[in-house]
Amino acid sequence: MEDMVTTLVISEVPPRDTLDLLDAHLPTYDVVLTEHLVVDADTVTVFAAAKNFDFMTTQSLLVTAMMTARGLPSRLTGRPVATPPSLMLARDPGALPGWLLLGEVPGREVVFGAVGTFWKPDIQWHDIAAEQFASFDEPGWGKIACHLLVRPDGPNRSILSYECRTATTDPVSRAQMSRYWWLIRPFVAYVLRAVIRTIRNDVGAHA
């Protein structure tokens, strides 16, 4: 299913000139979604905006609704669910359970990810160190890795990419995740699109 890529850019996206950190941490995967957007600013400016992006400010009511739905199973069982005042996954992924910063190429790419049972109504998270992520293969779990990638596209113009990949560690988990993926895929694409559009707007507001 590695050909499932969506894009906001009609013009051709420049090919990657090197392997990304994302490839090092999750080179093989079950599903992937990618969104690209042209931003009229240099790569340094765009990367700074991406790395400091607060996901809680995403200009999308759907994102807020998904954050609420994510904690619904816990609320139904009477367990408290804390809503973080800010959520900078590229700087402090620990604001969400299970998430961690996997690496960074300054000015170009930042990678974050998590290990969990994403397909279950009440997600379980598996805490591991960043250096364990690539080789982790304990059955019954899924891995998600995402990056924000910035590449030049001419003078004072950049291409911002947001890609998310998921992989599972055994056939049963893969089948469960596959069914879940076809349900949530449109919403995931919408969120990715909303994030990079908001980053572009942030860059424009501070230009």
Question: Would 77 be classed as within a structural domain?
Answer: no
Report the interhelical angle of 43-51 vs 171-206 (nearest 10°). Answer: 120
**Looking at residue 93, which CATH number applies to its domain?**
3.30.530
Query: Which residue intervals of the chain are DSSP H helices?
Result: 21-25, 43-51, 61-70, 72-76, 171-206
Contacts of 181 (CB under 8 A, 6+ apart): 30, 31, 166
Domain-embedded: residue 14: no
Residue 36 and residue 8 in contact, taking contact as beta carbons nearer than 8 Å: yes
Residue by residue, pLDDT tens for the chain (207 residues) are: 333 343 333 334 444 555 689 999 999 999 999 999 999 999 999 999 998 888 776 655 445 544 544 444 444 445 555 555 556 666 666 667 778 899 999 999 999 999 999 888 778 889 999 999 999 999 999 999 999 999 999 889 999 999 999 999 999 999 999 998 888 888 888 888 988 999 999 898 766
d(CA 13, CA 33) in angstroms, rounded, equals 15
Provide the number of structural domains found in the chain: 1
Residue 200 falls inside a structural domain: yes
Q: State how far the Cα of 172 lies from the Cα of 67, in Å rounded to an integer.
A: 27
Residue 28 per-residue DSSP state: S
List the helix and strand counts (H, then E) for the chain: 5, 5
Dihedrals phi, psi of 109, to nearest 5 degrees: -150, 140
Residue 63, domain extent: 21-72+84-206
